[in-house]
Structure 1
Amino acid sequence: MENPNAILEAHQWIPLSRQLVTEIHGLENLCQEQWPDLASDFEKLQAASHKLDDFTLAVLAGEVVSYSKIWHDLRNLIGTIMGYCELMEEELETNRLHLHQPLLQLRELCEQLLAKDEDIADVSTAQYLSTNKTIGTILIVDDQIESREILRRYLKQGQHHVLEADGGQQMFEVLAENDVDLILLDLILPEMDGDELLQQLKSDENLRAIPVIVVSGNKDTERVILCIEAGAEDYLFKPFNHVLLQARISAGVERKRWHDKEQLYRDELERNQRFIRGVFGRYLSEEIVSSLLEDPDGLDLGGVQRKVSVLMADIRGFTTICEQLPPQRVVRLLNNYLGTMSEVIMKYNGTIDEFIGDAILAIFGAPITREDDSDRAIRCALDMQAAMSEINERNRSEDLPEISMGICINTGPVVAGNIGSEKRAKYGVVGHTVNQTARIEGHCEAGSILLSEATVNDCKTMLSLGEKRSIKAKGILKAINILELKGIASDVSIAKEAVKE
């Protein structure tokens, strides 16, 4: 969209354009008499001046009305004229001829023409630019009081909050005490140059996100490149166009605000993940929690069918123990038992579905399925029974009764998922396999581990097993074949022969 004020004032350059064309044409005789070797370049210079004249007339006739189009074409033409003037000057110096004053005048006219574009922009662009500017806290780092004063006044016009520093040490002191949205950094400073300060700033994890615009009178291209490579957002030369400065500051502050919003989002995400780890970490291994966090659907409500190995364990005679102890002692005994068993289950990447009094329901195969789910469940059960000696030793030291535990494992299909509502839910499994496991658990004796035939057939570990027997369970029509686990066998034939019987 065009700036209407700039278009109306665009004709300010026309008198200078006509003067430039006239003076170029006036050099023709001089060139023929004194600079015959420059005839070819002068013809090209004249051709450019003819194009400039035609373009000027076209603008006056209203054939070109776009401000951006006018100055795009005008700059190209002026650039061509200045280029041929420079080539002719170089040729004169090479031949040790006197640099004629008219060439200098042509270049001065060209520079005055180019300055007209900047004058119009300074007068009218500020009125035309959008007022929707991002206001922020700007830190000016410059050892010159006058330079800071000019920048401060420009920034105050944009309603920015302005902080100042005269060098690197003061800059870091200000940054330590204030939240800064953007830094205007001078390149030449007494203590440490701006490019060195920039490198130090960008190496600080807490400060590197602050955008930096280098504002300097030094036009050394190599140093400009060094600043950009060190992380500067932009590089402006003094004297600068204050409208352009305001626009770049606004863009830099906006980027900083977006970065701050992203950082808040990341912090919130980390807090949520810590919460999830804190809650689920009580029941799941670290590996499983990490997998759930990486999977965007890992915590969605819903269900899937999985083959799992369900482990149930409880304390034998726990009702009698509860009747003999005060409530606080019962809770202490339970915590000793459940705390140790939870660690063992998570060691084998099992999922603790729930505690029901003294009973533990654990799952191997959900939410993550592995090929060795039943094998891990079996090894977990053996370690759980082995841990009972440690639990009872702690109970004795705390004047609590010794306890014994029965464990059973059954393998089969279940429906697994987050069960409940959006406000309150738990991960769990339901189905015939879970009901079967509960019935088998009722036949466990103290210190024993019972496996269903399905679990034995599913596992790959060599097992030492007792005789197979069948049980009739309430509510289940078909008999369930179970075997007592003695331990891990050295010969696979032990397991296979037990299953065949």
Structure 2
Amino acid sequence: MNDETSHPESSDPVDRVPLDDAGTTSVPQAGLVRENGARDDLEVDRCRSAVLANLRHELRTPINAIIGYSEMLIEDAESASDESFSGDVRKIHNSGLMLLDMVNALLDPKRLEEGRLDAEAFGARVRHELRTPLNHIIGYAEMLIEDARGAVNTGVVSDLERIHLSGIRLLSLIDQIVGLTRAPREAEEIALEDSAVSGMLRDVLETIHTIESPAAYPHDSDRGRLLLVDDNEINREMLSRQLRRQGHQVEVVGNGREALGMIEKEAFDLVLLDIMMPEINGIQVLEHIKRDPQHRDLPVIMISALDEIDSVVRCIEAGAEDYLPKPFNPTVLRARIGACLEKKRLRDREVVYLKQIETEKKRADDLLHVILPAEIVDELIATDDVKPRRYENVAVLFSDIVGFTPYCEDRDPEEIVSNLQELVIAFEEHAIQYNMQKIKTIGDSFMAAAGLFKPVANPVLDAVHCGLKIIRSAHAVRPHWDVRVGIHVGPVVGGLLGRRQYLFDLWGDTVNTAARMESNGRPGHLALSVPAWRQVEQHFDCDSCATIPVKGKGNLQFKFIDATKRTCVD
């Protein structure tokens, strides 16, 4: 047998045959009764379709077991080079295939076009056509069981007994169908009997709704972790064995509630889901999975003998990856499982790639935020460009470490960069504290601006507070540097330069004047221009004033605030 073969059942046919009030047996879901009043033609067709589908479901169940177990026995016998045993089992297998073809022919959906089902003729055909190959199966199974027990070949006895039991069950079901069709016929229409199985079928049909208009072998990498959901124990045992032979990891559950619980607790690559199940049918389980954002991408293959077009369409519409009617073509089953697993792996890979892209994008955005102001980053991402702008009433601050160049001459680079890094980090924290935007560092010089992107009540006041903190923190840390700070206020032009290495910068007379205030200032002092001083003179005392000739500016008046004194008035 090929590993890919799978012919699962859906339930035990004997257990599912109900008794009527007189104690006699009747065929599940089907009875020949006359309904009072006229029924809509479409509903009649749907009921007939449901009955035929369920009869196929019931008759195929033991046939699937016969075919499936015989194929596994053939495979094992051929592996052991036991040609005699494999030849006998092949006769069982061929008879099973013959039975399957007969059932498909007898219950062809095209019979619906006849308008009614001739129950007596149908019963006669079932009795005549199915019993002969079935008797062959039962007979060969009994003979092989006896031989295997005599040869103490216990390894095959259990599978042969399952084949024999399935044959007996199928024979019993055929006899029940024949017995029923001999009863007086009063029906011109087909209705569903009120039984537990009928309720299950009605539940599935109500879930499906009426449809108004129709709309190669896997590699090792295609093996996955599968969840098999079927309410029939023989189905679960047989199909799980088939799938494990293919190299899959298989978990089995017997109903929809268990399936949903298992999916919540564990991760699966694929779900094989029967439709006809008690409590929660397969379509309802499928809809629940597809509503759950966490599991909606989990592929589901529906498996059922209920092969009506309504069922197929409803499952695909609900999100099923595929629909396989029982019994399965072995090659098709394996190929479709492989295809579903491959699609899931591609989808999982896509999710991983998308997450990687998002991670890299976030990393790039974070890097841009380190280099550029947040407002500039937002504009750059949104438009791939930053328009130059004029900003009014901006306080520009420059700071510079006194004696930094001679300090660097006799010290190691690691010590220099470490101390400077500590100081710049402190400057950046002070800038954030007082609503200032860091523009850049140039060597040991630090440049920031207040009132640039967000309006503030008094940008110079924020700049003075920040400058005082810069001077004091520089003196507090080793090597206890002295710092000069210069501040001027006025309009500036801002824009982004470069493509390979972005830099947001400011230009204009305000920037030049602030730089001159710093370079001509005093260690441990803030040097303010007259326009800047006017915005803070109510808050600080001027420690000293000086008129200093400045290159390119002539004589400029400087207002000094000593950072070492208690100068705040308000």
Q: What is the TM-score when the length of structure 1 is the normalising length?
A: 0.53
Letter in structure 1 aligned against 2:185: Q
The offset of 1:197, in angstroms, is 0.7
2:568 aligns with one of 469, 489, 492: 489
Say whether residues 1:228 and 2:225 are aligned partners: no
Aligned length in residues: 344
The offset of 1:165, in angstroms, is 1.7
Matches within 5 A, 1:166-185: 166-167=251-252
Match for residue 198 of structure 1?
A: 263
Matches within 5 A, 1:288-303: 289=374, 292=377, 296-297=381-382, 300=385, 302-303=387-388
Matches within 5 A, 1:261-340: 261-277=350-366, 280-281=369-370, 289=374, 292=377, 296-297=381-382, 300=385, 302-307=387-392, 308-323=394-409, 330-331=416-417, 333-340=419-426
Kindly tell me: are residues 488 and 99 of structure 1, through their superposed partners in 2, closer, same or farther at Cα, counting changes over 3 Å? Answer: farther
1:73-94: CA deviations, max 9, x gaps? xx9x969x79xxxxxxxxxxxx
The offset of 1:351, in angstroms, is 3.7
Say whether residues 1:451 and 2:528 are aligned partners: yes
Say whether residues 1:371 and 2:456 are aligned partners: yes
CA distance in 1, matches of 2:378, 2:337: 40
Which secondary structure does the structure 1 equivalent of 2:550 belong to? coil
Letter in structure 2 aligned against 1:428: D
Kindly tell me: are residues 198 and 420 of structure 1, through their superposed partners in 2, closer, same or farther at Cα, counting changes over 3 Å? Answer: same
1:383-433: CA deviations, max 9, x gaps? 112213321xx32xxxxxx43111012222223233122x22222222222
Q: Name structure 1 gaps, 5 residues minimum.
A: 1-34, 50-74, 83-97, 109-134, 157-161, 168-185, 202-206, 396-401, 492-501
CA distance in 2, matches of 1:291, 1:220: 62
1:380 aligns with one of 439, 455, 466: 466
Which secondary structure does the structure 2 equivalent of 1:296 belong to? helix
Kindly tell me: are residues 245 and 473 of structure 1, through their superposed partners in 2, closer, same or farther at Cα, counting changes over 3 Å? Answer: farther
CA distance in 2, matches of 1:291, 1:471: 37
Decide whether the 8 Å contact of 2:35 with 2:189 is kept in 1. Answer: no
Kindly tell me: are residues 275 and 197 of structure 1, through their superposed partners in 2, closer, same or farther at Cα, counting changes over 3 Å? Answer: same
Kindly tell me: are residues 403 and 428 of structure 1, through their superposed partners in 2, closer, same or farther at Cα, counting changes over 3 Å? Answer: same
Letter in structure 1 aligned against 2:277: K
Which secondary structure does the structure 2 equivalent of 1:41 belong to? coil
Q: What is the TM-score when the length of structure 2 is the normalising length?
A: 0.48
1:415 aligns with one of 493, 506, 516: 493
Decide whether the 8 Å contact of 1:462 with 1:489 is kept in 2. Answer: yes
Decide whether the 8 Å contact of 2:226 with 2:269 is kept in 1. Answer: no
CA distance in 1, matches of 2:342, 2:520: 71
The offset of 1:328, in angstroms, is 5.9
2:273 aligns with one of 215, 218, 228: 215
Kindly tell me: are residues 254 and 301 of structure 1, through their superposed partners in 2, closer, same or farther at Cα, counting changes over 3 Å? Answer: farther
CA distance in 2, matches of 1:425, 1:195: 53
Which secondary structure does the structure 1 equivalent of 2:527 belong to? strand
Which secondary structure does the structure 2 equivalent of 1:403 belong to? coil
Kindly tell me: are residues 322 and 217 of structure 1, through their superposed partners in 2, closer, same or farther at Cα, counting changes over 3 Å? Answer: closer
- % same residue: 16
The offset of 1:145, in angstroms, is 4.0
Kindly tell me: are residues 290 and 476 of structure 1, through their superposed partners in 2, closer, same or farther at Cα, counting changes over 3 Å? Answer: closer
Decide whether the 8 Å contact of 2:538 with 2:569 is kept in 1. Answer: no
Letter in structure 2 aligned against 1:379: H
The offset of 1:376, in angstroms, is 2.9
CA distance in 2, matches of 1:329, 1:194: 64
Match for residue 505 of structure 2?
A: 428
Match for residue 216 of structure 2?
A: none
Q: Name structure 2 gaps, 5 residues minimum.
A: 1-32, 46-108, 117-181, 193-220, 306-323
Matches within 5 A, 1:383-398: 383-391=469-477, 394-395=478-479
Matches within 5 A, 1:70-89: none
Q: Once structures 1 and 2 are overlaid, which stretch shifts more, 429-438 or 298-307?
A: 298-307
CA distance in 2, matches of 1:379, 1:141: 67
